Every structure is written in C-alpha cells, then in structure tokens.
Amino acid sequence: MRLENRAPDALRPVRIQRQFTKYAAGSVLVTFGDTQVLCTATLEDRTPPWLAGKGSGWVTAEYAMLPGCSNERIGRNHYQKGRAMEISRLIGRSLRCAVDMAALGERQITVDCDVIQADGGTRTAAITGAFVALSDACAKLQADGAISRSPLLGECAAVSVGLVDGEALLDLCYEEDVRAEVDMNVVMRSDGNLIEVQGCAEGDAFPRKQLDAMLDLAEAGCGELFRLQREALAS
C-alpha cells in the first residue's frame, strides 16, 4: 500500500496558494504532499536579443533547490550543474507551449521555481505552479492595459508517473521515486494534447505496454490538476 492509503491513481493533496509574495507579478506556493515549490513570475519590457524587433515575446524559467529543502544540504552552486539546467529548460519549453507569443508582445516573463521542500516530483509541481504564476503575470499585463487579450492558450500542468514493483503509480513521493523502475514526467495542455513526455528507465528497460499504462494515469492526473489550477485562479 502507498502512504496514507493512497490509491495507485491518486494525486497527493495539492494546494495552489497565489500571491505568496507581493513584489513579483505572479507568486505561487504550490504543494504536492510534502513537496513545496515557490514560483514567482517577473515581467521585463525586453526580449532576448535574438528576438528583438520580431514582435514576439518570450517565456523562460529557472529551477533551483534551496540548500535546506531535503535531509542532506544541497550545495548552492549545484543549480548550475546539469540536472537543474535540464529542468529549467523543461519548464520553459512547457510554459511556452501554453502561450501565444505574438499576443504577449515584445516582453519577457521569467518564472523562477525554487524548491522549498523536496519530496519527489519537484519538476512537475514546479510546472503546475509556474503556469498559475504566469497566468497572474499575464492578468497583470491585461489589467495594466499593456495587452488587450490574454496570450494563454489553455492551462499547462505536469505530473510524474512511475513503475514501482511492476505497478504504475501516479505522482510519486521521494520514497517511491527511489524504488521506481521507471520514472516518467508528462506535461499536458488542457485541450488534452501532450506537451512533453519523458520516460526514463532506472536500471532496467521496460515494455511499451507499461508506457501506455503510465500515460493513462498521467492523463487523468493532469485533468485533475487543470481543475485545481482553474479553481485557484478563480478564487
């Protein structure tokens, strides 16, 4: 059995707390069980140099773990290493699939995702929370009259799935994650389309029908997350 009698297809308790800090254009503390990520969206009235003058905006992201987020302290310059950069790139790519860059106009939104507490699934929690911070930043642009309509194309959410003792499980906590034979992250848009699928054998290769079972779980999990995002944004 999973911790707290969780069903194989159940998310951990998810909370999306908006306006966690007051200076950033969007600031969301997202929690998936004991995983907590602070996502802050900052607006800048300029694009990266290679986009200048093209009438298009840009969305990017940076991911880092705070040193005290887990049992062992994580060195602070760790964030420059491969894993954190890889995750930063994943979050940025995912968010960009949910935004009409022309409608955003020549400005950049950077979403910083800082992991305050890590219990597995930090990157998928980060994407789910980052979308809400991004939404708040876009709403601020509209409220300020900088843009006339929302550049968002739908919600964007992500969830982890995995194979533990041969069984497909949704939203793995750390303890499950270290035991998983396969670790997979799925990013979706609320129209039901896929944005990113990253499945990775941990130790041993896996059959395709297991891939299918995990995708089924992830689709259902993302559906629930879209609902929670909309609920948070409506409140």
Residues that bind its own copies in the complex, under the rule CB under 8 A: 21-24, 27, 34, 36, 38, 40-42, 44, 62, 64, 66-73, 76-77, 79-83, 85-86, 88-89, 93, 96-97, 110, 112, 114, 116-118, 184, 188-189, 191-201, 203-208, 211, 215, 219
Is there a contact between 219 and 208 (Cβ–Cβ < 8 Å)? no
Q: At closest approach, how far in Å is the CB of 213 from its own copies?
A: 13
* Residue number with CB closer to its own copies (31 or 172): 31
Nearer to its own copies, 7 or 201 (CB): 201
Angle at 20 between CA 234 and CA 154, to 5 degrees: 40
Q: How far is the CB of 45 from its own copies (least distance, A)?
A: 11
Closest C-alpha to 62, from 42, 35, 91, 82? 91
Counting Cβ atoms within 10 Å, is residue 117 exposed (0-12), middle (13-18) or buried (19+)? middle
Q: Which is nearer to its own copies, 10 or 194 (CB)?
A: 194
CA angle 107, 113, 119 (to 5 degrees): 160
Q: Measured between alpha carbons, how far is 168 from 174 in angstroms, rounded to an integer?
A: 15
Please, which residue, 226 or 234, has the CB nearer to its own copies? 226
Count Cβ atoms within 10 A of the Cβ of residue 200 and give its class: 0-12 exposed, 13-18 middle, 19 or more buried. exposed
Least CB distance to its own copies at residue 160 (A): 14
Q: Minimum distance from CB of 194 to its own copies (Å)? A: 6
